[in-house]
């Protein structure tokens, strides 16, 4: 799938998320929506990344941003992961890969010498009009969440 150009308007979408809620892109009350796509609940990199977003959650809120994590894991897995890490934000379940396809984050990766299809760790900042204003692909976890916060805070 071709990469989505920055500043492209997104089609409205909805998806199931934790706490029995449904995510709907249109009508988000926040100035910015941060969607971070990660490969799998309870894996080392995904745990570290989620805890970093958790630890800076208040600063993101101050900057007018809501955070949502997205992976192909089930809602049940997400609820357990969210509770275990005490995440103050919701996780979106995308088992059918609809959002993954829309954002172009499904990639062939090498794992233990074999090619596997999975989510390329990526983060998107979406403004109140539904446009992607910044994206990071192929994310390395150390320092990433600070960089996202710095970007969001600079937009205020």
Give strand ranges (E) for 112-149.
114-119, 122-127, 132-137
The Cα 126–Cα 120 span in angstroms is: 18
Of 75, 72, 80, give the one whose Cα is nearest residue 40: 72
Catalytic residue among 17, 34, 46, 87: 46
Which residues touch 40 (CB under 8 Å, ≥6 apart)?
46, 71, 72, 73, 118
Alpha helix segments (H runs only) across the chain: 44-55, 57-62, 75-85, 98-103, 144-154
Respond yes or no: is residue 100 known to be catalytic. no
Show the tokens assigned to 37. 């796509």
Element containing residue 72 per DSSP (H, E): none
Tell me which residues are annotated as active site: 46
């Amino acid at each position: 799938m071709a990469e989505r150009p920055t500043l492209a308007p997104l089609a409205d979408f909805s998806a199931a998320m934790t706490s029995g809620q449904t995510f709907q892109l249109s009508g988000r009350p926040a100035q910015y929506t941060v969607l971070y796509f990660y490969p799998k609940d309870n894996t080392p990199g995904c745990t570290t990344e989620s805890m970093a977003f958790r630890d800076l959650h208040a600063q993101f809120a101050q900057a007018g941003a809501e955070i949502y994590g997205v992976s192909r894991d089930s809602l049940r897995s997400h609820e357990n992961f969210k509770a275990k890490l005490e995440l103050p934000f919701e996780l979106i379940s995308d088992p059918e890969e609809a959002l993954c396809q829309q954002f172009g984050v499904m990639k062939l990766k090498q794992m233990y010498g074999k090619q596997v299809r999975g989510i390329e760790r990526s983060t998107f900042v979406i403004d109140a009009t539904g446009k992607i204003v910044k994206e990071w692909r192929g994310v390395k976890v150390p320092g990433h969440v600070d960089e996202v916060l710095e970007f969001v805070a600079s937009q205020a």
